[in-house]
Structure 1
Amino acid sequence: MKHTLTLLLALLLSGSNQWALAQSTGSIRGQVLAEGKPLELATVVLSGSGMGTATDAQGRYELQQVSAGSQELVISSIGFQSQRQRLTVVAGQTHALNAQLTPTPAALQEVVVTGVSRATELRKSPVPIAVLSRREVHLNGSNNVIDAAVKGVPGLSAVTTGPNISKPFIRGLGYNRVLTLYNGLRQEGQQWGDEHGIEIDQYDIDRIEVVKGPASLIYGSDAVAGVINMLPRLPNGPAGELHGDALTEYQTNNNLIGTSLGLHYNRNGWQYAARGSYRLAQAYRNALEGRVYGTAFRELNLTAMAGLEKTWGSTQLYTTLYDNLQEIPDGSRDSLSRRFTRQIFDGELDDIKQRPIVADADLATYRINPLHQHIQHYRLLSRTRLKLGTGELHALLGAQQNIRREYNHPTAPAQAGLAVALNTYNYDLRYAAPAWQGIETTLGLNGMYQTNTNRNATDFPIPDYSLFDVGGYLYLKKTFGKLDLSGGLRYDTRVLRWADFYVGENPATGFPQQVGAGSGLAPQFPAFRGTYRGLSASIGATYNLSDRLLLRANVARGYRAPNITEVGSNGLDPGAHIVYLGNRSFGPEFSLQQDLGLSAYLPDAELSASIFNNSIDNYIYQARLNGPDGQPVVLVPGNATYQYQQGRARLYGAEATVNLHPRALPSLLFSNSLAYVTGLNREAQLLEANGSAAKYLPLIPPLRTRSEVRLTREHPWGRLLHPYVRAVLDYNAPQNRFYAVDNTETRTAGYALLGLGAGTGLASGPEKREWLQFFLQLDNALNTTYQSHLNRLKYFEYYAASPTGRRGIYNQGRNLSLKITMVF
C-alpha cells in the first residue's frame, strides 16, 4: 500500500510538472530551403541555449519545449550564408518559421581565431587575414614552415640564412615586429638574431593564419607588423578508434629526408595525440657554386597532447620538444676558383687567404661540421575554455625554454662561442561576455615573464636579463545590418633590467669568459633598468555592399617595446658574424597604419585588393658603425660592427589577388597574386648625412607576383581521388630601392622561378576512403641562378671582387620534392 501511494504521488507530480511545462513553453517547426529545394542537415539552433536540431531529407525541423517569450533562431549550413530570425513564442502554441538560405563561397564562411577577440568569420574581420590549409602547405616543396607560408600568402616574405632558417616579414617589417604563435602561444626563442629560425614542427601544423597589419591590440608588443599563428592538428575521426598518419619526404637538391608519424585517439570527450618528426639534409646546391658549405642540418621534433571536450567547455595540454643541429655558413672561398674553404684556426692565426678548400666528401654528407648551432626548444602549453552562461572564459598558460649554442671555434670545437638559455612564462586570460544590445565585448589580460642566462661561452652579445610584460585590453564589436564595426583599446607595460655583467680572459684557454664583480674590470654590460609603456588602439569596419562584395577599412595604432639587442647588446654574435651595439636611450616604437580593402566573391572568381600606409615613430634600425675617418669600425676581425639607431619611417604598398574558377570548367583554378611595399626613411639627420643612399629602409622585399594554373579532377578516377597537375610562375622584380649607406645593401636583380607539380590521393574499399596521398613538386625547374634580396648569404663575401663578377652566395637551385602520406 505504501509503495502504491508513492507511485500515485509520483505520477501526480509528474503530470503536474508536465502540465506546468506545457503552460510555459511552446514549439517551433518549419522548413529550410536553398535555391527552392529542401536543404538536408541544416542546423537550427536556439540562440543563447544548448537547444538545436538538424533538418531531415525534406528540410523540415521541429524544436519542442521552447521557453515562452522572445527567441532568436540561427539557421546555418556549410556553403550557405547563415540566417537569424526572431519570433515571440506563446506558451502552448506551435509556431511556423521557414528559412531560405543563400549559397555563399567557402571563403566567406571561413572561421579564424587570430587577430580578433573571439572566433569569427573571415569576412567580418576589418584587417586582412590570410588562411593556409595543411593541403596547401603540402602542395609546395619547402625546407621549413615559414617558407611554405611565404609561397601561399601575398605580403608575407622571409629573411633567410640557408634553407632551414627563415624569419617572417610582413609588409616589409620583421624580427620582433612579427609575432609568431604556436596554437596561440607566442614563440620566444631569441628571435632577435638574423640566423635564428622558428622552432616549430612543420609536419604537425594543420593550418596557418596570418594577420597582415598591427595586432598589438590583442597581443601587445611585437605584433606591430602582424601575427602568424601555427595551429596544430586536433584529434578527429570516429570515437574509440586509433587513427593517424605516416609521412615521408625526399628532396633532391640537398638530399633532404623527412619522416613523421602522428597518432590520435578520442573517446567520451577525451582527446589524445602524439607526433614524432625527424629531418636531415646535406648542404644545398645551385648551378653556379655547387654545394654551399655550412648549410646542412638535422632536426628532431616530438609533440604530445591530451584534452577533454565537454558541454562545460574544454581543456587541452600540449608539450613539445625541438632539437636542431644547424651548420653556420660564413662564405669564405678560394679567391680564384671560388670553391668554399673552411676555417681551421682562431683569432690572428686565421688567414682567410690560406684556408683549405672544402673536400667534396665534406659537402655531400649528412655529418654536421664543427662550426654549427645547437638549438633546443621545450614548450608546455595549457588552453582552457569555460562556458559561463552565454559567455566564455579562455585561459592560456605556457612555459618555454630555449637553449641556443653556437660553436665557432675550430681549435676548440666543444667550446661554444654563444650559449644562452631563455626561460619564458606566458599567460593570457580572455573573457568573452554575453552580447548586450547586440554588442560583443571581450576583456583580456596577457603578458609574460622572461629570464635570459649566459652559460659557458666566449662571446656575449647580450647580458643576463629579466623581462616582465603585462597588458590589458577591451575589444568591442557590433553589427548594424550590413555594417560590422569593431575596435578597442589596450595599455601595456614592460620592465627590462639586468645587473652588472663582467667579461674577462680565461687564462687556461685564452678565450673570454664571464667573471665576477671583483675582477677589477669595467662591466661589459653596466646595470640597467628600463620601463616602457604604450597605448594601442584599433577601429575597423566591414561593409557588405552585397552578399558577395565586401569593403574593409581599419586604422590601428601599434606599440612595440625595444628588444634586448636594440637596448643592451655589446658584443659579437658569432652565427651572424656581426658585432651588435645597442642604445639604452631608446623609447618604444609606435605605428599608425591605415588599411583599405575590397573583396568580391563572384560565381566564377574571387577578387581582392588592398592598400596600406604605415607611419612609424621611433623606428629602430641597424647602421654600420664608422670611425672619424669615415671608415667602418672593426672591433672583431672578420666581423662587421653595427649600432642600432632610432628615427622615423614610412611604409606603404598594395596587395591583390585574382582567383578564377569558372563553373563551366570546375576542374580549373587560375590564381594570381601581387604584393608590393616601399619603405622610406623619414629621419632628417640620417637623410642629410647620407643623401639618397639613406632614402629607403633595409630588408624591403621587391615587387612580387605569383601565378598558378591547377587542374584537379573533382570526381574519383578509378582509385585516384582528386588528382591534380599544376604550374607556378613566381616572379620577383629587381630591387632598386635599398638601404645603400655603407653598402649595407646592394641592388638585387629580378628573377622568375618556374614550378611544376602533380599529386593524387589513393582510395580503398567500397566507400573509397583515402588512405594514401602523393605530392610531387619541382621547384626552380629551369635551375635559375638567382639571389633573393632578403637572402643574408648574398652578403657573405670576403673579397672586394671575384673572377666571375658574382659576389656572395646564391639561392637554392632546381629541387624535386616528393611527399607521401599514409592515413590510417
Structure 2
Amino acid sequence: MFKLPVIGKNLLLLVLSLFLAHAGLAQDMYLDPEADLVEQDCGLTFSGKVIDHDSREPLIGATVLITELQKAVITDEYGNYHFHHLCRGSYTVTTTYIGYEVISTSLRLTSSVVRNMTLHVDAKTFGAVEVVGGRMIKHTQETETLTGRELEETKGLSLGESLKKLTGVSSVQTGPTVSKPVIHGLFGNRVLILNNGVRHESQQWGNEHAPEIDPLNAQELKVVKGAAGVRYGSDAIGGIVMVNPKPLPDSAGVAGEVNLIGSTNTRMGTVAGMVEGRLRQVPLSWRLHTSLKKAGSAQAPDYNLNNTGFEEQNLAATVGYQQERFGAELYYSYFHSKLGFLSSAHIGNLTDLANAIGREQPEETGSFTYTIARPYQDVTHHLLKARGYYKTGDLGELQFTYGLQDNRRQEYDRHRNTGDTPQLDLDLQTHTSELVWEHEPIGNLSGTIGATTIWQNNTYAPNTRALLPFFKGLTVGAFLAEKWQKNRLQLEAGLRYDQKALDIQRWDGTRELLKPSYTFHNLSGSFGALYELGYHVTLSGQVGYASRAPHAYELFARGLHNSAATYEVGDPNLVSEAAVNTMATFTYHSNPRLNGELSLYHNTINNYIYLQIAPEYALGVQGAYLYAKYQQADARFWGADIMADYALTSRLTLINKTSLVYAINRETGNYLPFITPNRTDNTLRYSFDDNGSSSKLTSSYLALGGLYVARQSRSDAQSDPVLPAPDAYFLLHAEIGTSIQLGKQPVELGLVGNNLLNTTYRDYQNRLRYFSDEMGRMLLFRVKFLL
C-alpha cells in the first residue's frame, strides 16, 4: 500500500510555492538571453497544426487569429497554419472551427515558434464527433460531452453533480454532499468510470460512496450511454463516464492557472492550481495539479443539516515523453476526503427511528460549523498509471497501460465512542493492465483488438466490522472492435469475453471460516449503424449485449453500512446480470437556428440485482437503522432523451433538456426502487456581443433557467415500504460569466445560482430523504487566473 505524509496545510504551501516559482521558470524557458540586446526583431514566424482532440485528425479550414494584430489565417488541407514577419512580444491567439470549442491562448514570442492547437467538440453538437473528409460525423453509440464553457460552469461541484448538466444523466445522492452518476436509470456497479484512461476501482458498491476523483483536474467529461462493455469491460451495462485531463503541452514553455471558488451554502472555499510545461531541447512535458476544499454544514431552507461538512485534498502529477513513433507517460494522483454524515439519520432506538422518518424537520439540527463529528468517513485513494505507445508503421499502433490503485475507506459510528478507532476499515488494492493494437485501415475498415486484466485484493483491519469480507479477484478479458465506413454509411461491431474468478473468506454465524469460490463467464457484443440522411441530419442505432458478474458486496454484505444509515445484507446465490440494450438516435445538427437530438432506448436486464429496503428496522449496539437486502429479478427499462437549442435571435438561445425513464419488475409487474423520476430543464441564454470589441470584457453571457422534476409516480409500498415518493418540485437557476483582460493576463469570472427561490423539497433518489430536506439556495462564485 502506498504511504504518503499527511498533506493538510502543506498542500496549500505547495500550491503557493509552485506559482511563486512560475515567474523564474518562465524566464528560463521562454526568454532569449540576448533579448535585451536586440531592440526589435520582426522577422519571426509562428506556425503549427490544428487538430481534433479525440481523432488527432487535422481540421481543414480552421481560423487562427492574433487578436492584437487582427491578423487571421485559415488552415490548409493538412491543418497547417503560418504567420510570417511577426515582431517579438506577447499576443493572444484565438482558434475557432465550426462545431468546436473556441480556445484562446497566450503567446510570448521571442523566437520563431511551432505550436499545435488541439480543439474539443462543442457540447452543443450533442456527441463525440470525428472529422472525415472535412465532414463531421457521430459515433453510432450515443455520446455526450461536457467541456469548454459548460464544464467551467460546474467547477466547485462534485463529479456526480457536474454530470447532471448532461441529458439522461442524474445522480443518486446520500445527503447534500455525496452523489454518484446515474445513466438511463442505472447506477453503481453498472456505470464504469474511467479516470485518465484507467477504470476507477474503489468501494463503488456503495451508492453513497462518491467517486474519489477531482473534477477540477479534468478538461473533458464524456458519457457513453447504454451497454458499452466491448471496449471497456462487461460490467458497463449502464454506460461509461470518462474523466479526461487535457493533453500535455506540445510546445516549449511554462503556463498555469489558479481557480478560486466560494459557495454561500456550506460556506465552501476551494483553491486549485495547475502549472505545466515542456522542455525546449527534449520532447519531455510535465504537469502538476493540486486543490483544497473545505465546507461546513449545509443549510436546508428552514434549518441546518447537522454534521454535513467535508474536507478534501487532491494532488496529481504527470510527466510524458513523446517522439513521432513512440512515447510514454507516467501519472500519479492522490485523493483524500473527510465527510460527515447527517446526524439525524443515526438514531439510537426503534421508537425514535420511526418518529424521525418523514418528520418535517429533524429533531437535531444544531448550528453551522466546520467541525466534522461522528458519524463520518475518511477516504484515501491513490492512482499510479504508466502508459506507452509505439507506432508500428504500416501495421498501426501498439499501446500498453498499467494502473495501480489503493483505496482505503474508514467509517466511524456515532454511537460507539472509541476514540480515533474506526468501526469499518477497508483496504482495496487493484492492478489493471491493458494491451491494445489499433491496426491501420484496411480499405474502409479500421479497428482495435486488445486484452485486459484486473487483479484485486480486499482486506479489513482486525477488530473492525466485516461488512465486506476478505476477497481476491482476477478478471481476464479480450475484445475486438471494428468500424467500416463508406460515404454516408458507418457500421460498428464488437465482441468481448471476460472470465472473473472470485475467492471469498468470511466467518459465518458460528465463527466458522468459510472459503467459497466463484467463476463467472461474461460475454458482451454490439452492433451499430449510422447514416447521414443529409448535411444536417443523421440517424443512428445500436444493439448491445452485456453481462455483469455480481460484486462480492452484493454476495456477502452483512452489517451496518454507516454512510447509508442502513443495515445491508447480501445474497450468496446471486448470478450474473444479462442485458440487451437497443437505442435509436435522430440528430439535427450544424444548423444556425435549430439543433437537436432525440434518443429512444430499451433495456432488458435478466437477473437485475437491486437493494430492496424492507418494512422492518434493524436494531443493534450501533443503534436503530433501516434494513435492506440484495435481491434479483428480471427487469425492463425504457425511456427517451430529448435535447434541443433554438436561436431566437443571434444572441438569445432557448435550450431544452428532457429525460424520461421507466422501469418495472417483469416477473411481478411491480415497480423497481430508486429509479430516476422524469425531468425537464429549460434555459434562456444570452451571449453579449463583446468579442473583438475594444472592451476589456469578452465571452460574456447570462443564463436563466428552471428544472422541473416530476413526482416518481411509479413507486409504491412494495418498492419503497418506508415512505411514499416525495412531491414534484421546480428549481430556478441562473448563471453569469465573463472574461476580463487585466494587462496581458485574462481572468475568467463566474457566478452560478441554484435553487434561487429557496424551495423546500426532497429528491426521490436521495437515500436520506427519509430524514431531511435538500439544500436551500446556493450561490457559487468562481475566479480563474491564467498564468
Q: With the length of structure 1 as denominator, give the TM-score of the two structures.
A: 0.77
Name the counterpart of 1:377: 381
CA distance 1:42–1:174, shift in 2 (3 Å): same
Following TM superposition, by how much is the alpha carbon of 1:414 offset from its aligned partner in structure 2, in angstroms? 1.6
Deviation at 1:322, TM superposition (A): 0.7
Q: Deviations over 1:123-151 (max 9, x none)?
A: 3311110000143123247531220111x
- Report whether the alignment pairs 1:776 with 2:747: no
Q: Verify the 8 A CA contact 1:674 1:705 in the aligned structure 2.
A: yes
Bigger CA drift: 715-724 or 321-330?
Answer: 715-724
Distance 1:401 1:745, change over 3 A: farther
Residue 407 of structure 1 pairs with residue 412 of structure 2: yes
Equivalent position to 1:729, from 706, 725, 740? 706
- Checking the alignment, whether the CA contact within 8 Å between 1:79 and 1:109 is kept in structure 2 is no
Matched ranges for 1:151-550 at <5 A: 152-236=165-249, 238-239=251-252, 241-267=253-279, 268-288=282-302, 290-332=303-345, 363-390=367-394, 391-408=396-413, 409-501=415-507, 521-523=510-512, 526-550=514-538
Match of 1:19 in 2: none
Determine which of 731, 735, 743 is the counterpart of 2:721. Answer: 743
Deviation at 1:383, TM superposition (A): 2.3
d(CA) in 2 for partners of 1:747, 1:353: 18
- Report what 2:659 is aligned to: 675
Distance 2:617 2:700 in 1: 57
Task: Name the CA shift for 1:442/1:606 in 2 (closer, same or farther; >3 Å).
Answer: same
Distance 1:80 1:638 in 2: 55
Q: CA deviation at 1:434?
A: 1.1
Whether contact under 8 Å (1:179, 1:228) holds in the other structure is: yes
CA distance in 1, matches of 2:99, 2:753: 37
- Residue range with higher mean Cα deviation, 323-332 or 636-645: 636-645
- SS of aligned partner of 1:314: strand
- Deviation of residue 191 (structure 1)? 0.5
Alignment check: 8 A CA contact 1:728 1:755 kept: yes
Determine the structure 2 residue equivalent to 1:79: 98
Q: Give the deviation of 1:154 after TM superposition.
A: 0.7
Map Cα deviations across residues 541-594 of structure 1 (whole Å, 9 max, x no partner).
010001211001000001211111111212222222222222222211110011
Alignment-mate amino acid for residue 673 of structure 2: P
Aligned-pair identity in percent equals 27
| Cα displacement (A) at 1:724 | 1.2
- Does the aligned pair in 2 maintain the 1:417–1:574 contact within 8 Å? no
Q: Match of 2:607?
A: 618
| Counterpart-to-counterpart distance in 2, 1:586 and 1:788 | 30
**TM-score, with normalisation over the residues of structure 2?**
0.80
CA contact (8 A) 1:536 1:556 kept: yes
Q: Cα distance, 1:415 vs. partner?
A: 2.2
Q: Is the CA contact 1:370–1:410 (under 8 Å) kept in the aligned structure 2?
A: no
- Is it true that 1:705 corresponds to 2:677 in the alignment? no
Deviations 1:313-349 (A, max 9, x none): 33211101111011122425xxxxxxxxx87xx8999
Deviation at 1:359, TM superposition (A): 8.6
Task: Return the letter of the residue paired with 1:476.
Answer: E
Aligned to 1:763: 741
Between the aligned partners of 1:815 and 1:770, the Cα distance in structure 2 is 30
How many angstroms apart in 2 are the aligned matches of 1:312 and 1:582? 50
In 2 relative to 1, CA 166–500 (structure 1 residues): closer, same or farther, beyond 3 Å? closer
What letter matches 1:478 in structure 2? W
Listed as ranges, the matches of 1:111-190 within 5 Å are: 112=128, 123-140=137-154, 143-150=157-164, 152-190=165-203
Residue 604 of structure 1: aligned partner:
593
Report the aligned-residue RMSD. Answer: 3.1
State how far apart, in whole Å, the 1-side matches of 2:257 and 2:404 are. 28
Q: Deviations over 1:613-657 (max 9, x none)?
A: 00001111122457xxxx566577512332211110000000111
Equivalents in 2 of 1:216, 1:168: separation in Å?
Answer: 17
Counterpart CA distance in 1 for 2:337 and 2:174 is 15
* 1:586 alignment partner, one of 539, 550, 574: 574
How far apart are residue 703 of structure 1 and its match? 1.1
Counterparts in 2 of 1:112 and 1:599: CA distance versus 1, 3 Å:
closer
Structure 1 CA distance for aligned equivalents of residues 659 and 694 of structure 2? 37
Write the distance in 2 (CA, Å) between the matches of 1:724 and 1:107: 16
Determine if contact 2:226/2:581 at 8 Å carries over to the other structure: yes
Match of 1:718 among 688, 695, 713: 695
Aligned-pair CA distance for 1:201: 1.0
Q: Retained in 2: the 8 A contact 1:483–1:541?
A: yes
Q: For the Cα contact (< 8 Å) 1:282–1:363, is it kept in 2?
A: no
Residue 666 of structure 1: how far off its partner (Å): 3.0
Matches for 1:656-671 after TM superposition, within 5 Å:
656-661=642-647, 665-671=649-655
Label 1:54 to 1:255 Cα distance change in 2 as closer, same or farther (>3 A): closer
- When residues 34 and 619 of structure 1 are mapped into structure 2, their CA distance, relative to the original with a 3 A threshold, is closer
Q: Which residue of 1 aligns with 2:779?
A: 816
745 and 494 in structure 1: CA distance in 2 versus 1, 3 angstrom threshold: farther
Change (3 A) 1:817 1:331: same
- Displacement of 1:176 after TM fit? 0.2
Unaligned runs of 5+ in 2: 1-59, 64-71, 85-94, 101-119, 357-361
Q: Are the structure 2 counterparts of residues 359 and 717 from structure 1 closer, same or farther at C-alpha, using a change threshold of 3 Å?
A: farther
Instruction: Map 1:76-115 to 2 at 5 A.
Output: 78-79=97-98, 112=128
Contact kept in structure 2, 1:237 and 1:243, CA below 8 Å? no
The structure with the largest alpha-carbon Rg is 1
CA deviation after TM superposition for structure 1 residue 403, in Å: 0.3
Name the CA distance, whole Å, in 1 between partners of 2:166 and 2:425. 35
- Asked whether the 8 Å contact 2:156–2:261 carries over to 1, the reply is no
CA distance in 2, matches of 1:80, 1:823: 25
Distance in 1, matches of 2:192 and 2:567, equals 25
Describe the shift of the 1:348–1:726 C-alpha distance in structure 2 as closer, same or farther (beyond 3 A). closer
CA distance in 1, matches of 2:543, 2:379: 39
Matched, 1:648 2:634: yes
Letter in 2 for 1:42: T
5+ long unaligned stretches in structure 1? 1-31, 46-51, 58-75, 82-103, 333-341, 504-520, 688-694, 796-807
Alignment deviations for residues 385-420 of structure 1 (CA, whole Å, 9 cap, x no partner): 321114111221100000000010442132211100
**How many residues get paired?**
675
CA distance in 1, matches of 2:678, 2:125: 31
Q: Structure 1 pair 53/275, CA: closer, same or farther in 2 (3 Å)?
A: closer
Give distance in 1, aligned partners of 2:126 and 2:573.
45
Instruction: Report the 3-state secondary structure (helix = DSSP H, G, I; strand = E; otherwise coil) of the residue aligned with 2:624.
Output: coil
1:9-60 CA-to-partner distances (Å, cap 9, x unmatched) read: xxxxxxxxxxxxxxxxxxxxxxx9899xxx9543434xxxxxx865899xxx
For residues 630 and 335 of structure 2, the distance between their equivalents in structure 1, rounded to whole angstroms, comes to: 31
Rounded to whole Å, the distance in 2 between the matches of 1:482 and 1:160 is 43
Structure 2 CA distance for partners of 1:228 and 1:482, relative to 1, 3 Å? same
Task: Check conservation: 1:453, 1:463, Cα contact below 8 A.
Answer: yes
Paired with 1:554 and 1:673, the residues of 2 have a C-alpha distance of: 22
- The answer for the alignment partner of 1:28 in structure 2 is none
SS at match of 1:575: helix
CA contact (8 A) 1:326 1:368 kept: yes
Matched, 1:794 2:769: yes
